[in-house]
Amino acid sequence: MFPLNQWYVAGFVWELKERPLARVLLNNPIVMFATEDGGVAALEDRCCHRAVPLSCGTLEEGGIRCGYHGLKFAASGQCIEVPGQGKIPGKARVRAFPAAIRNQVVWIWFGKDAESPPDCEPPEVPAHENPVYSWKGGAFHYKAPYQLIHDNLLDLSHVGYLHGRTIGGNAKVHMEAPTIVTQDGDKVRVVRWMKNSQPPATYSAAWPFKGSIDRWQEIDFHLTYLQIFTGAVEPGEYALDDPQRGGFHMRGFHGITPETETTTHYFWTMASSAHPDQPDNAETVYRQTEQTFEEDRVLIETQYSNMKQFGSGPMIDIHVDAGANRARRVVASHVAAQAAAAGAVG
């Protein structure tokens, strides 16, 4: 059901505190914890002794101790201590998932099988390390399949209708915005321009725009995450395809990680630039972004509930669906190839 041999977002470094962090990711119950070398460990959340979740245990130097009978496990998944017993059974270990931290994002590698090691580094989130931006993030839990979130993020024409109090603007302008959709391998890119448009509430609150604005939306879809670059400048101040353009920038990171076939973890951050006259806009941008994404969550969960109620009735496509449809084809291609490979092995 999910593309494998991929890095998926599992959380953020600030969530790795004194206690174990438990999450179900791609139907796998996993416990995560920080290691002494500044890294992260990710283990199957099941003690191999009596199947108690390791996340019910405690963190100690060198690993995690089960809260039932005290077996201690290293970051490798190997049991390194059985209280009251000198010999440790050779099979006393749990599955360890490759995990890494990059730009304060926690990533876990899900291979096609337990022996499939990562073949690349975790993705980079450049905005998290760029001093031009201030950023902050959070997480939502969706009672909906992950590809509905892909659809939502790849079609920003909806913001004029759904997000009028934050990043919306004129709905007609959004629906009629010139849109270019391209694809490079598994990456789908959607670019939209809205020249001489009304600044939405979030933009006006964060930047001293005096009138209309030239606005852009650049969406880059990858199999397990999206990066979305939006912003605006004074009309005619910069070409909207100028990579060095100034103005107000919002760089969003969106880690879309399935929990199960019908539930999803949505990990997000928003990085924004600041005007010299409004240098303290980061909290405003964060709060309005959080409000925006909560509106998305409510709508998508309602959408999925309605889809279940009506069953597999036909749905039509319109012009704004081009990016989402391409992304769905990319996912379907990976899942089909995995199924074919599994069938060949079987």
Classify residue 231: in a domain, yes or no: yes
Q: Radius of gyration of the chain from Cα atoms? A: 22
Gap between the Cα atoms of 159 and 119, Å rounded: 37
- Same domain assignment for residues 189 and 302: yes
- Same domain assignment for residues 146 and 242: yes
CB burial of residue 283 (10 Å; 0-12, 13-18, 19+): exposed
Classify residue 264: in a domain, yes or no: yes
- Same domain assignment for residues 234 and 288: yes
Instruction: Using DSSP, state whether 47 is helix, strand or coil.
Output: coil
- Same domain assignment for residues 157 and 278: yes
Identify the domain boundary among 86, 110, 134: 110
Identify the domain boundary among 61, 85, 110: 110
Check: CB of residue 168 under 8 Å from CB of residue 197: no
- Same domain assignment for residues 300 and 230: yes
- Same domain assignment for residues 93 and 131: no
As given in the structure block, the two tokens for residue 234 are 């004074």
- Give Cα separations from 183 to 68, 227, 229, 329 (angstroms): 51, 15, 17, 11
Gap between the Cα atoms of 85 and 137, Å rounded: 45
Identify the domain boundary among 47, 82, 110: 110
Residue 344, H or E segment? helix 322-345
- Which CATH number belongs to the domain containing residue 95 in this structure? 2.102.10.10
pLDDT for res 18: 85
- Same domain assignment for residues 257 and 300: yes
Which residue(s) pair with 229 in the sheet? 218, 251
Which residue(s) pair with 252 in the sheet? 228, 270
Classify residue 345: in a domain, yes or no: no
CB burial of residue 291 (10 Å; 0-12, 13-18, 19+): middle
Task: List the chain pLDDT tens, one digit each, 346 residues.
Answer: 899 999 999 999 999 988 999 999 999 999 999 999 999 999 999 999 999 999 999 999 999 999 999 999 999 999 999 999 999 999 999 999 999 999 999 999 999 988 889 999 999 999 999 999 999 999 999 999 999 999 999 999 999 999 999 999 899 999 999 999 999 999 999 999 999 999 999 999 999 999 999 999 999 999 999 999 999 999 999 999 999 999 999 999 999 999 999 999 999 999 999 999 999 999 999 999 999 999 999 999 999 999 999 998 889 999 999 999 999 999 999 999 999 988 876 6
Classify residue 89: in a domain, yes or no: yes
Structural domain total, the chain: 2
- Same domain assignment for residues 97 and 236: no
Cross-sheet strand order for the sheet of 99-102: 6-12, 105-110, 99-102
Name the residue range of residue 43's domain: 6-110
Classify residue 156: in a domain, yes or no: yes
Classify residue 27: in a domain, yes or no: yes
- Same domain assignment for residues 85 and 162: no
- Same domain assignment for residues 19 and 84: yes
Name every residue whose Cβ is closer than 8 Å to that of residue 2 and which is 6 or more positions away in sequence: 26, 110, 258, 335
Token pair 């993020």: residue: 153
Classify residue 135: in a domain, yes or no: yes
- Which CATH number belongs to the domain containing residue 185 in this structure? 3.90.380.10
- Same domain assignment for residues 251 and 321: yes
Fill in the DSSP letter of residue 85. B
Classify residue 213: in a domain, yes or no: yes
- Same domain assignment for residues 174 and 278: yes
Digit-coded pLDDT (tens) for 89-103: 999 999 999 999 999
As given in the structure block, the two tokens for residue 345 are 């092995």
CB burial of residue 244 (10 Å; 0-12, 13-18, 19+): exposed
